[in-house]
Amino acid sequence: MPREAKKLGDKQIAALKKPGLYPVGGVNGLALRVTAKRGKDAEGVARSWVLRLATGGIRISSNGKPFAERRDFGLGGYPDVSLSEARQRAAELRQQFRAGIDPVEQRKAERAERLAQIAKVRTFEEVARECFKVRESEFRNPKHAAQWIGTLETYAFPTIGRLPVAEISTAHIVELLSPIWTTKHETATRVRQRIGTVIDYATAAELRSGPNPADMKGNLRELLPKSAAVRKKAGGKKHHPRVPVDGMTAFMADLRTRTSISAVALEFAVLTAARSGEVRGATWGEFDLKARVWSLSAERMKADRPHKVPLSDAAVALLERLPRGSAADLVFPGFKGRELSDATLGKMIRDMHEAQTKAGGAGYLDPDQGRIATPHGTARSSFKDWSRRSTSRVMADGNRSSFPDEWAELALAHVNNDQTRAAYARDELLEERRELMQAWGEYLAGKTTAAGRLDTQQKP
């Protein structure tokens, strides 16, 4: 039978300040652990209560001798937990242990029960908004963040928003997605993905358990039409409508008759084959007009990589006409100096189309889709179509050819998926792309680019 420790009093406990483990008596196995405080510039000691109990098991030491297996249970720090409180807690734990109750496992079970009760009242909408706050800093811009939560507000919350997140099932997801799965498939796909993200978050937060009902690798894939079939029936993935290459000269001539900042921004987007967001967010600090280069940081690019755009004569002339601000000022500021919206550039093309059709013209429809051109399609797809033409590039000997596809892909800042393009990407081919962008600018102005030939301005 182990010798019972001497019962210490409050004054004796308060005097224990040398690091070590001190039995305090009153309850077998109860001790005060004294340790030096850790951390930079830490001084003094930390003291806490420990109850050491024999589990009844036997273990073998490294030298081959058997010893009784023991477990330590923390009872709180001293003096926050007084000596009398520590003895009371220790006595209760010893009693539980003798009754075959593992205090640690009991606490885990109690915590699990508390979380289960919380989950019963945590609705999908509450958890979704909490998840959104955690993820909000991951979005590239406020527009993308608003779209993420906006799709849930429109399509998910009306159906499952008030349901406990722990009770969301595959049946709920099917009910929610079925009305839009074939009619708005891309939107439905994003809604499903975002619901899945929320449920993964809820699972990580221990608000629910089991498989994710929004996972297409689970039962959901058998309860909805296959995505490939839905897209094929809808005519495949639709590209951004664009102005056909042969109509770009007239389009640019029409655009240049308009003086609004949105018209100027759209013109610059076309001249540089840039994305709308890259142009609308451009600041003066990104431009070196002497070197004729526009430098965008990785944070500003879709591919998360820095990108340099060589500027043609037309692009430089456009920038030089604008009032130059400080490095942080927007080049194409909207109302009260704020960034223009993407919708503003789209409206510019729609207004131009409407004016053309009212005047008896054909307007600016994509001939393949019958839809009004968009800024993205016109600035980028039309550029790529032009660069592939066998007559776009004038060689030194006067003959014409298309531009190398690698040049156009680099100009569009597309992700390189093969080794050949990756090899080109290391160099960026800035000077080669300068030739490409200059030729594009001259084409848009209706000029020829053959050395020594007379440039002519085409009429729109």
Which pLDDT band holds residue 420 (cuts at 50, 70, 90)?
Answer: very low
The pLDDT tens digits for 432-454 are 999 999 999 999 998 754 333 33
DSSP codes joined into one string, 350-397: HHHHHHHHHTT---SB-TTT-SB--HHIIIIIHHHHHHTSTTSEE-TT
- The reported pLDDT for the residue numbered 457 is 39
Q: What is the enclosing helix (H) or strand (E) of 23? A: strand 20-23
Mean pLDDT of 403-417: 82
Which pLDDT band holds residue 3 (cuts at 50, 70, 90)?
Answer: low
The pLDDT tens digits for 160-211 are 999 999 899 999 999 999 999 988 888 999 999 999 999 999 999 888 889 9
> Side chain identity at 291, as an amino acid letter?
A
Task: Count the Cβ atoms, other than its own, within 10 Å of residue 107.
Answer: 10
Percent residues over pLDDT 70 in the chain = 87
69 vs 336: which has the higher pLDDT = 336
Asked whether the predicted pLDDT for residue 368 surpasses 90, the reply is no
Percent residues over pLDDT 90 in the chain = 48
**What ranges in 122-260 are assigned the alpha helix state H?**
124-135, 142-151, 157-160, 170-181, 185-204, 220-223, 227-233, 248-255
Query: Per the structure block, which two tokens stand in for 5?
Result: 């420790």
Burial 418-451 (b: 16+ CB within 10 A, else e): eeeeeebbeeebeebbbbbbbbbbbbbbbbebee
Asked whether the predicted pLDDT for residue 425 surpasses 60, the reply is no
Mean pLDDT of 95-115: 72
Domains of the chain: 10-101 (3.30.160.390), 124-233 (1.10.150.130), 245-444 (1.10.443.10)
Phi and psi, residue 138, nearest 5°: -80, -20
Q: What predicted TM-score, i.e. pTM, was given to this entire model? A: 0.56
Strand order in the sheet with 307-310: 287-288, 293-296, 307-310
